[in-house]
Structure 1
Amino acid sequence: MPVLHRRLLGLVLLALAGCATVVPPADGWQPLAPGLAHRAWAPWPDGDVQALRADLATVRVALSPPADAGLPLDQMPSGRGALASINASFFDREFRPRGLTVSGGHPWPELLKLARPANDPVLACDTRCVIRFDAPARPEPGWRLAVSGTPWLVRDGHARTAEDDATCANLCAHTHPRTAVGLDATGRHLIVLLAAGRRGAVKGLTLTQTAELMRDLGAVQAFNLDGGGSSTLLIGGESRLPRPLNEPALRRVANALHLLNP
């Protein structure tokens, strides 16, 4: 075979090989839809962590309504067609959420006051989304969405420390499956992190570890949502976060954050 033909053949084979192999981005993010990316990695040998990054100029965020309370995420009518969904509020046995809760512009009829709302960070959205660490006693006019959690993880770029975790040892300093939510410095990108746990060697994260990862992902404000067996990640309606070995079925929860097409 002439040298020129061999070179041409080599270029064709190289091009075909390039088409067959998708090189992941250097930072690990993989696109799911316009404005939405997903990342899965093991930050530690026994870690199993996933994250979502949503551009709020492209992706709409909504909180499931009271009518869906008490259902697992994959059975919530409000989540049909969602790009992704995660569990949200802490709740009591009657699936009443803790802290300020607003869905579709309407406050939930019964707000469980396990602690003063001002003690609980809140993600609130009107035309834009903010995280408030000084939550008001009642939702502000114009809020179309509000969801609370506890405790804080990252505040003005500073992540909580082991000393902070020592004040709430069982919830904070022990390892558990986790769900966390945050915003970047522009307020344009919503950052969500979920960690698997209670799976043999994969025990989960402390809140200090969760905070460090949220900060590394670019969150300058972030807080903890309900975790443990409640931690759930659906992508395109399918469960993607490995479940605790003692709780293989999705848990019934109070509500969910849905990431939707505009």
Structure 2
Amino acid sequence: MLRLLLTGWMLALLAGCASPPPPPPDGWQTLAPGLTHRAWAPWQNSDVHALRVDLGRVRVTLSPPGEAGQPLDQMPSRRGALASINASFFDREFRPRGLTVSDSQPWPALLKAPATARDPLLACDTTCTIRFDAPAAPESGWRLAVSGTPWLVRDGNARTAADDASCANLCAQTHPRTAVGLDASGRQLIVLLAAGRRGDLKGLTLAQTAQLMRELGAVQAFNLDGGGSSTLLIGGESRLPRPLNEPALRRVANALHLTPR
């Protein structure tokens, strides 16, 4: 009997050693130096993922034009990335909406969309900034620029349901989402993705997305392409639940990659 008890105790001890450590109390888990991830449900029937990126330790890059039309998990540029997300809105030829720059080179064919010049964008040289007065051409030194629409947080003020009413389908209805923002210091990039189109899991409105971005510390933020395009790869593996009608990763125009500096 004593031998059986000791054997059971040893097995329990070994099982406990093999168990993964519990998640931290605030839900954030470190993926790499300068990069943390959190997954939670801020509302009933929601599934949200966020990344906090220390831009002093993690570099942001945009996939090149030659990879347009590929799903994220097949883009060669994702190799070595700690995490990757989808980026630009695009047309049927995978031309991105708004000013777009990869590796200091502007994309050759920009989608001519209404109010493109007013689309917010994320631009990076040695640091990153979010511009709501996007120029017609990239500024000197920009190695990356990616545009989206519409704004989510501007100077610390988050959009509301009243703002969403002006674009009912894109804004006020619930969809899977992808968004980016910067904190007040400009040294932390904040990324948010929401799953949706999965039965009771519908997604978020843009006002809800903006509320979460502000709670995460973003003082400037805007919306990237969402719906079936919303994709989060961590270590090359898809981590955002897919829409039930679109289980495979969608082909997209480009992707933002987070790599160690």
TM-score range, shorter chain: over 0.9
Preserved contact between residue 117 and residue 136 of structure 1 (Cα < 8 Å): no
2:38 maps to 1:39: yes
Report the counterpart of residue 111 of structure 1 in structure 2.
110
What amino acid is aligned across from residue 107 of structure 2 in structure 1?
W
2:64 corresponding residue in structure 1: 65
Structure 2 CA distance for partners of 1:215 and 1:18, relative to 1, 3 Å: farther
Q: Which residue number corresponds to residue 86 of structure 1? A: 85
Cα distance in 2 for residues equivalent to 1:116 and 1:106: 22
**Which residue of the partner structure matches residue 242 of structure 1?**
241
Q: 1:117 deviation in Å?
A: 3.0
Q: Which moved more, 1:72-81 or 1:108-117?
A: 108-117
Deviation at 1:224, TM superposition (A): 0.2
Identity over aligned residues, as a percent? 79
How far apart are residue 21 of structure 1 and its match?
A: 6.6
Moved more, 111-120 or 247-256: 111-120
List 4+ stretches of structure 1 deviating above 6 A. Answer: 16-19
Match of 1:174 in 2: 173
Q: Which runs of 5+ in 2 are unaligned?
A: 1-11
| Pairwise CA distance, 1:261 | 1.2
Cα distance between partner residues in 2 of 1:138 and 1:113: 14
Q: What TM-score results when the alignment is normalised by the length of structure 2?
A: 0.92
SS of aligned partner of 2:174: coil
1:129 corresponds in structure 2 to 128
**The residue matched to 2:212 in structure 1 has which SS?**
helix
- For residue 230 of structure 1, report the CA deviation from its aligned partner: 0.2
Q: Tell me the CA shift for residue 222 of structure 1.
A: 0.3
Deviations 1:140-179 (A, max 9, x none): 1110000000000000111000110000000000000000
What are structure 1's unaligned runs of at least 5 residues?
1-12
Paired position in structure 2 for 1:257:
256
CA distance in 1, matches of 2:22, 2:243: 31
| 1:167–1:58 Cα change, 3 Å | same
> CA–CA distance in 1 between the matches of 2:232 and 2:86?
7
Structure 1 vs Structure 2 CA RMSD? 1.7
Alpha-carbon distance, 1:20 to partner: 5.8
Partner residue, 2:192: 193
